[in-house]
């Protein structure tokens, strides 16, 4: 499956929705007639004319762990624009994963500025909640092509790219594995079993399980309706068939060196010493490095044996960005603030304090970033990944699928029946 297929489907499938979703009138006193006009007509950076009367109040959502970092950025923003306005910028704790549901639930009573992952962009833009970025060309030149694509619908930019590390890769303990060992999952499982340890991966999550399907030549993506999926993972012909993948997964699950566990339990198991390798992301990098010390390693995902060949494990790649509420009362200042906290200097600061991989080209090319194994691993893995663009029914079917495989297929189901059931769930219609 080619990455461009998934990327293009989200763009073309929502064009009509976007046209309709952005047509409502804004109710804020300072905004132009529509959210689209609001984004396009916001003042250029650093140019506000006379000092704005009254207090510019902005509410900003952030993960609680990022509060200290955001407070530094807020202080820098106030200094940058001192004398142009009096600011009251309030931080409110909010999980990035909940941004879309909260914003679309009541767009008029949510934050002015908020972070979110790229897979939330299309629905929020279609709902008219995101202001279009006015200095798009400047932002596009400053950030990597992948992060810009993730923040765009067609030629329009609806988010300021913030980080380029929202993917997954392999962590491993060098006390047990050589550089050669971690190239194949077969060898990783062998080493783990030999040492009575485990390789950890979350199989009930479709996010991680995509890795076994993505580079097989089989196809998956979101339909033009922007809601349902197409999927032929149960194909009965081709170099790799659906049953080949099921049998490969059964073999992995049967290994004494494998454990299926939530990503949230990976760090605890590594600390206990029961897990010596696992699939996860940069959010665990600092703790894993603390646990394994000089033996901490991170690389792209390995290959696995399927249909008698080595198949490179794929992944969903992701980016995080900052969005601006199209109905913000102080839209021009909200856009300036979002631009500020995602500029080069603040992406460097975000890396230094939170170890998050920059999307800014200059920040990402620094020597400091090149020396972080987790960030280099997610960059290396991105060559084999695609943007996450999936319909509503993608996630739930993996629960039963994983339980069947990891429990040893207790009902003795035929592999074709197992993969057929998964595909039927993924492609089920949600349209009445």
Residue 36 backbone dihedrals phi, psi, to 5 degrees: -60, -45
Contacts of residue 403, defined as CB under 8 A and 6 or more positions apart, other chains included, come to: 204
**Does the pLDDT value for residue 42 go beyond 90?**
no
Q: What is the pLDDT of residue 431?
A: 54
Taking Cα atoms as reference points, which of 231, 191, 163, 209 lies closest to residue 425? Answer: 231
Q: What is the pLDDT of residue 30?
A: 34
**Does the pLDDT value for residue 414 go beyond 50?**
yes
Mean pLDDT of 373-386: 94
Straight-line distance from the first to the last Cα atom of the chain, in angstroms, rounded to the nearest whole number: 29
Mean pLDDT of 151-158: 96
- 88 vs 26, residue with greater confidence: 88
- CA-CA distances (angstroms) from residue 131 to 116, 342, 343, 359? 14, 16, 18, 20
pLDDT by residue (tens digit) across 204-250? 999 999 999 999 999 999 998 888 999 999 999 999 999 999 999 99
Q: What is the pLDDT of residue 179?
A: 97
pLDDT by residue (tens digit) across 356-366? 999 999 999 99
Q: What is the C-alpha to C-alpha distance for residues 54 and 46, in angstroms, rounded to an integer?
A: 19
Are residues 222 and 6 in contact, defined by beta-carbon separation less than 8 angstroms?
yes
Mean pLDDT of 402-413: 96
pLDDT by residue (tens digit) across 260-307? 999 999 999 999 999 999 999 998 998 999 999 999 999 999 999 999
**Does the pLDDT value for residue 35 go beyond 60?**
no
Q: What is the pLDDT of residue 224?
A: 87
Are residues 198 and 274 in contact, defined by beta-carbon separation less than 8 angstroms?
yes
Q: What is the pLDDT of residue 50?
A: 64
Q: What is the pLDDT of residue 322?
A: 98
Are residues 213 and 423 in contact, defined by beta-carbon separation less than 8 angstroms?
no
Measured in residues, the chain has a length of: 432
Neighbours of 4 (CB within 10 A): 11
Contacts of residue 202, defined as CB under 8 A and 6 or more positions apart, other chains included, come to: 208, 260, 261, 262, 263, 279
**Does the pLDDT value for residue 65 go beyond 70?**
yes
Contacts of residue 75, defined as CB under 8 A and 6 or more positions apart, other chains included, come to: none
- CA-CA distances (angstroms) from residue 401 to 203, 216, 351, 409? 9, 18, 37, 10
**Does the pLDDT value for residue 177 go beyond 80?**
yes
Q: What is the pLDDT of residue 53?
A: 79
Q: What is the C-alpha to C-alpha distance for residues 51 and 359, in angstroms, rounded to an integer?
A: 33
Q: What is the C-alpha to C-alpha distance for residues 7 and 146, in angstroms, rounded to an integer?
A: 10
**Does the pLDDT value for residue 18 go beyond 90?**
no
pLDDT by residue (tens digit) across 126-143? 999 999 999 999 999 999
CA atoms within 13 A on the CB side of 194: 9
Least confident of 52-56, 129-133, 314-318: 52-56
**Does the pLDDT value for residue 47 go beyond 90?**
no
% of the chain with per-residue pLDDT over 70: 88
Q: Average pLDDT over the chain, rounded to whole?
A: 89
Whole-model pTM over 0.75: yes
Taking Cα atoms as reference points, which of 422, 329, 343 lies closest to residue 142? Answer: 343
**Does the pLDDT value for residue 25 go beyond 60?**
no
**Does the pLDDT value for residue 20 go beyond 70?**
no
Taking Cα atoms as reference points, which of 252, 182, 268, 172 lies closest to residue 212? Answer: 252
Question: How buried is residue 179: exposed, middle or buried, by Cβ count under 10 Å (0-12/13-18/19+)?
Answer: exposed
Question: How buried is residue 94: exposed, middle or buried, by Cβ count under 10 Å (0-12/13-18/19+)?
Answer: buried
């Amino acid at each position: 499956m080619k990455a461009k297929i998934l990327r293009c489907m989200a763009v073309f499938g929502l064009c009509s929705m976007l046209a309709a979703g952005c047509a409502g009138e804004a109710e804020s006193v300072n905004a132009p007639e529509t959210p689209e006009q609001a984004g396009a007509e916001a003042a250029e950076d650093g140019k506000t004319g006379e000092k704005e009367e009254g207090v510019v109040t902005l509410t900003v959502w952030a993960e609680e762990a990022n509060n200290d970092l955001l407070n530094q950025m807020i202080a820098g923003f106030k200094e940058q624009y001192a004398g142009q306005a009096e600011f009251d910028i309030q931080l409110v704790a909010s999980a990035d994963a909940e941004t879309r549901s909260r914003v679309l639930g009541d767009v008029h009573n949510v934050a002015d500025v908020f972070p979110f992952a790229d897979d939330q962009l299309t629905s929020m833009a279609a709902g008219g909640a995101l202001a279009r970025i006015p200095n798009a060309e400047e932002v596009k030149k400053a950030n990597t092509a992948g992060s810009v694509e993730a923040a765009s619908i067609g030629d329009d930019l609806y988010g300021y790219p913030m980080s380029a590390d929202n993917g997954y890769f392999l962590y491993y303990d060098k006390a047990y594995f050589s550089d050669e060992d971690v190239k194949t999952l077969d060898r990783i499982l062998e080493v783990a079993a030999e040492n009575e340890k485990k390789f950890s991966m979350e199989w009930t999550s479709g996010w991680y399980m995509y890795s076994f399907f993505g580079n097989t030549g089989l196809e998956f993506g979101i339909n033009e309706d922007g809601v349902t999926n197409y999927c032929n993972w149960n194909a009965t012909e081709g170099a790799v068939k659906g049953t080949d993948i099921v049998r490969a997964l059964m073999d992995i699950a049967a290994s004494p060196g494998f454990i299926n566990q939530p990503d949230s339990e990976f760090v605890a198991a590594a600390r206990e010493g029961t897990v010596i390798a696992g699939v996860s992301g940069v959010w665990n990098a600092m703790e894993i490095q603390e646990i394994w010390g000089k033996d901490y390693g991170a690389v792209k995902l390995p290959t696995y044996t399927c249909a008698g060949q080595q198949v490179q494990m794929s992944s969903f790649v992701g980016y995080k960005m900052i969005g601006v509420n199209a109905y913000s009362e102080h839209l021009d200042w909200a856009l300036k603030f979002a631009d500020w906290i995602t500029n080069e200097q603040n992406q460097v600061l975000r890396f230094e304090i939170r170890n998050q991989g920059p999307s800014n080209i200059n920040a990402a090319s620094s020597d400091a970033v090149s020396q972080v194994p987790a960030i280099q691993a997610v960059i290396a893995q991105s060559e084999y990944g695609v943007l996450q663009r999936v319909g509503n029914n993608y996630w739930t079917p993996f629960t039963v699928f994983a339980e069947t495989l990891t429990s040893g297929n207790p009902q003795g189901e035929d592999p074709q029946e197992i993969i057929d059931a998964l595909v039927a769930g993924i492609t089920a219609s949600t349209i009445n």
